[in-house]
Amino acid sequence: MIVLCDCAERLAGLARIEEGVKALVERLPSSERALWQVLGGGARLWRGTARDPGPPGFWSHAAVVAEAPSSQFDILRESLARGLQLPGPTAAIALSGRGFHGQRGRQWLSAPGNLHLCAAFPSPGFAAREAYVLPMLPALAVVDAVDALTGGTVRPGIKWVNDLLLEGRKIGGVLTATQVQGDHVRVILLGVGLNVATAPPVPPTPFVPSVGSLAEAGVRTTWAEAASLVMAALGRRMSDLATHGAGRLLDAYRAASLVIGREVCLFADSEPGETLVGTTPMLRGTVRDIAADLSLVLEGVETPVVSGRLAFAEDCRDVRA
């Protein structure tokens, strides 16, 4: 795996760095030069090789920057739409940055020691009609990574659709996007935010009553080690999806779900900054199952729920029911 970065002194723990040299952007191979110009920007960088986090030979490149001026997820999505050609499966990691966000543009606060990672997979050999399963993949990769890190003693759960909770606190969230050409997915783009060392200050809401971190749960690690494990898990899940289809992914997602068997409130999707004061949930009930298309099956509700914001019923006491 090729590593491009502007902060080589901070790479310890990101796989095993084998060798590297300072380099000029104009001397990079064309695909690397284009990648670094959109993510790194500066004229000088460090270019090295590192052990592939896995599966063997899966990852092509990782680009690491000390600070991202804006969301790398958005930068990559826009650049890929304009024709950026990736050399292969690529991870983009920012140690800090501005403009990070979750679903529907909701702010994601970066903090020192946390993981902010995007992964792009060109030509994944994936049919467009199957793209609905992809939100499961990065969420499960975080569960897999924490499980591997702690030997199974600590295991986050997934709050529908894409929040990662540990001991009732949100420690992470994921994003997915695809670019489709005809009947096939041309690029898969996944985003992962994981609070490794720090829980950013986030005002409580029924959807996110509290925020936590791995460190607060007693898990001692670094962003670099977390990045390697998340990349390894993403690679395995992507390979497994390509080989076996979505069945095993759905089974694992259901097993990691925190909502099956719980009473929940479902609200219409809201814009960033909107409050729930005086708002009535569009549905309230116990989740019986998660369907193959990730819709929620509620007891006593005939039609599965395909969209909305979910809060656990106990967190909705101040919301009109």
81 within 8 A of 74, measured Cβ to Cβ: no
Q: State how far the Cα of 77 lies from the Cα of 90, in Å rounded to an integer.
A: 13
Sheet containing 90-94: give its strands across. Answer: 17-24, 44-50, 2-5, 61-65, 90-94, 115-127, 184-194, 169-181, 163-166, 157-159
What is the band of 132 on the pLDDT scale with cuts at 50, 70, 90? confident
Supply the pLDDT for residue 8: 87
Please name the amino acid found at residue 228. S
Number of C-beta neighbours around residue 22 at 10 A: 10
**Whether residues 179 and 284 fall in one domain:** no
- Average pLDDT over the chain reads 91
**Whether residues 25 and 173 fall in one domain:** yes
Helix axes 223-244, 136-150, angle to 10 degrees: 130
What average pLDDT does range 135-158 have in this prediction? 95
Predicted confidence (pLDDT) per residue in 48-88, tens digit: 988 899 899 999 999 999 999 999 999 999 999 999 999 99
- Choosing from 207, 226, 256, the residue where a domain stops is 256
**Whether residues 301 and 231 fall in one domain:** no
Q: Could you tell me if residue 320 is inside a domain? A: no
Supply the pLDDT for residue 41: 78
Predicted confidence (pLDDT) per residue in 202-221, tens digit: 999 999 999 999 999 999 99
**Whether residues 10 and 25 fall in one domain:** yes
Share of the chain above pLDDT 90, in %: 72
Q: Could you tell me if residue 239 is inside a domain? A: yes
Which residue did the predictor score with more confidence, 175 or 275?
Answer: 175
Is the confidence at residue 319, as pLDDT, over 70?
A: no
Q: Could you tell me if residue 49 is inside a domain? A: yes
Q: State how far the Cα of 192 lies from the Cα of 230, in Å rounded to an integer.
A: 9
Supply the pLDDT for residue 237: 96
Q: State how far the Cα of 4 lies from the Cα of 19, in Å rounded to an integer.
A: 12
**Whether residues 150 and 222 fall in one domain:** yes
Supply the pLDDT for residue 298: 96
**Whether residues 114 and 140 fall in one domain:** yes
Residue 75 maps to which CATH number? 3.30.930.10
163 within 8 A of 156, measured Cβ to Cβ: no
* Exposure letters 178-191 (e unless 16+ CB within 10 A, then b): beeeeeebbbbbbb
Q: Could you tell me if residue 235 is inside a domain? A: yes
What is the band of 321 on the pLDDT scale with cuts at 50, 70, 90? very low
254 within 8 A of 260, measured Cβ to Cβ: yes
Give me the number of domains the chain comprises. 2
**Whether residues 76 and 168 fall in one domain:** yes
**Whether residues 40 and 85 fall in one domain:** yes
Question: Which residues touch 53 (CB under 8 Å, ≥6 apart)?
Answer: 1, 15, 59, 228, 229, 231, 232, 235
What is the band of 194 on the pLDDT scale with cuts at 50, 70, 90? very high
Supply the pLDDT for residue 24: 85
**Whether residues 234 and 269 fall in one domain:** no
> What secondary structure does DSSP assign to 5-27, as a single string?
ES-GGG-TTSS-EEEEEEEEGGG
**Whether residues 275 and 130 fall in one domain:** no
**Whether residues 63 and 189 fall in one domain:** yes
Distance of CA 313 to the CA centre of its chain: 26
Is the confidence at residue 158, as pLDDT, over 60?
A: yes
Predicted confidence (pLDDT) per residue in 97-120, tens digit: 999 998 888 889 899 899 999 999
Question: Which residues touch 199 (CB under 8 Å, ≥6 apart)?
Answer: 111, 169, 171, 211, 212, 213, 216
Q: pTM above the 0.85 mark?
A: yes
Q: Could you tell me if residue 250 is inside a domain? A: yes
Residue 290, SS3 per DSSP: strand
The residue segments making up the domain with residue 299 are 263-315
Predicted confidence (pLDDT) per residue in 33-53, tens digit: 999 999 997 777 999 988 899
Supply the pLDDT for residue 273: 56
Is the confidence at residue 320, as pLDDT, over 70?
A: no
What is the band of 228 on the pLDDT scale with cuts at 50, 70, 90? very high
Q: Could you tell me if residue 16 is inside a domain? A: yes
Which residue did the predictor score with more confidence, 277 or 14?
Answer: 14
DSSP label at 210? -
Q: Could you tell me if residue 321 is inside a domain? A: no
Q: State how far the Cα of 140 lies from the Cα of 142, in Å rounded to an integer.
A: 5
Is the confidence at residue 222, as pLDDT, over 60?
A: yes
